[in-house]
Structure 1
Amino acid sequence: MAKVLMITGDFVEDYENMVPFQALLAMGHDVDAVCPGKKSGESIATSIHDFEGFQTYTEKRGHNFELNASFADIIAEEYDALYLPGGRAPEYLRLNAKVIEIIQYFATADKPIASVCHGPQLLSAAGVLEGKKVSAYPACQPEITMCGAEYVELPMDSAITDGKLVTAPAWPAHPAMLKQFVALL
């Protein structure tokens, strides 16, 4: 079974954090959920994003999620794959140099990476999307294309794999995204 690193943070999308974390564990994979500046046993706040007929998603406070590993202790080479959930966390996580360095390591090492919703903001900031076909929440399309990737508009319940990269527009795509990600593990 694979050892998966999940980089997450405050106000990550609740489902995009919890569902893959629990599903991968249930399949027998080891998953370390980490957040810069936080240690194992500490919690992050999550948000629930819903699609209720407005021009964009709505946001409500979600659950607290307990981290099971410490960001400061991460050695990227010890992991087989990387998972990057969406929500608002990626907008500030991409400012962390170590987060960017870790993402670049996984891309350069050609290890599986899965990212959903706003998670590809991290991939864009790390400069690892050039020439890739990438899905994300539609509001992320400009930065996906500006970094040299092809933005692929998908139904909210679909995902796309390009090489070792699996991306999806939002949490309704969990079944498709996880199926494709696990196939790479």
Structure 2
Amino acid sequence: MAAKNILMLVGDYVEDYEVMVPFQALQAVGHTVHAVCPDKKAGDKVRTAVHDFEGDQTYSEKPGHNFALNATFAEVRAEDYDALVIPGGRAPEYIRLNEKVLDIVRHFAAANKPIAAICHGAQVLAAAGVLEGRSCSAYPAVGPDVNRAGGRYVDIPSNKAHVDGNLVTAPAWPAHPEWIAKFLQVLGTRIEL
């Protein structure tokens, strides 16, 4: 397996598990992962939020860890990367306002490179206009965004993932085992045990 260079788009109050787990898991199997945030550089940190499901009408939110970025957003060239990861949390609602973020997402979609988005990450896909004719899972509250962007929202259990070609999506962090496994399949990653 040739190791892939993977770009991860994050921002303050990204969901803690949804940034930490794939960042570490993808590196553990040999890939290079660069986590970037608009207006921040390598060594800067973003705050994270822990979203939990405790029986309320929506998730609860608690402070998470600080997450250190390992690359500089201003230096990112999308063509240098083989795949894209967009974690959820609150970050997608505002990083989607950054035109360079949208251009990066459009590059991966146009080049048919693997894209993994979880939870609210689909807000960035919708804003970039890359969901037309595609099926996509997301946190249920993001379903209307997916549909309005010309996609088809797929309502699946929170521990499941959905694949549509190069696009791997899931509703929330309970889906990590399946979401990451399916993303690794789309990446063509082979793990020898």
Range of TM-score over shorter length? over 0.9
Partner of residue 106, structure 2: 104
Residue 184 of structure 1 and its aligned partner are, at CA, apart by 1.3
Code of the residue aligned with 2:91 in structure 1: it is A
The 2-side partners of 1:147 and 1:65 are apart by 31
Partner of residue 124, structure 1: 126
User: 1:62-88: CA deviations, max 9, x gaps?
Assistant: 000000000011010010000000000
Superposed, which structure 2 residues align to 1:56-95 within 5 Å? 56-95=58-97
Code of the residue aligned with 1:89 in structure 2: it is A
Residue 50 of structure 1 and its aligned partner are, at CA, apart by 0.1
Partner of residue 163, structure 2: 161
Partner of residue 150, structure 1: 152
The 1-side partners of 2:74 and 2:148 are apart by 31
The 1-side partners of 2:9 and 2:106 are apart by 13
Please, which of 130, 139, 142 is the counterpart of residue 141 of structure 2? 139
Partner of residue 5, structure 1: 7
SS at match of 1:118: helix
TM-score, normalised to structure 1's length? 0.99
The 2-side partners of 1:175 and 1:44 are apart by 24
User: 1:113-144: CA deviations, max 9, x gaps?
Assistant: 00000000000000000111110000001111
Code of the residue aligned with 1:181 in structure 2: it is F
CA RMSD, aligned part only? 0.4
2:16 matched to 1:14? yes
Structure 1: state its 5+ residue gaps.
none
SS at match of 1:54: coil
SS at match of 2:107: helix
TM-score, normalised to structure 2's length? 0.95
Partner of residue 35, structure 2: 33
Code of the residue aligned with 1:87 in structure 2: it is G
The 2-side partners of 1:37 and 1:114 are apart by 23
The 2-side partners of 1:17 and 1:106 are apart by 19
Partner of residue 44, structure 1: 46
Code of the residue aligned with 2:118 in structure 1: it is V
2:178 matched to 1:176? yes
SS at match of 1:141: helix
Matched positions, count: 185
Show structure 1 runs of 4+ deviating over 2 A.
none
The 1-side partners of 2:154 and 2:107 are apart by 24
The 2-side partners of 1:162 and 1:184 are apart by 10
The 2-side partners of 1:129 and 1:149 are apart by 5
The 2-side partners of 1:149 and 1:72 are apart by 30
Residue 148 of structure 1 and its aligned partner are, at CA, apart by 1.1
SS at match of 1:178: helix
SS at match of 1:119: helix
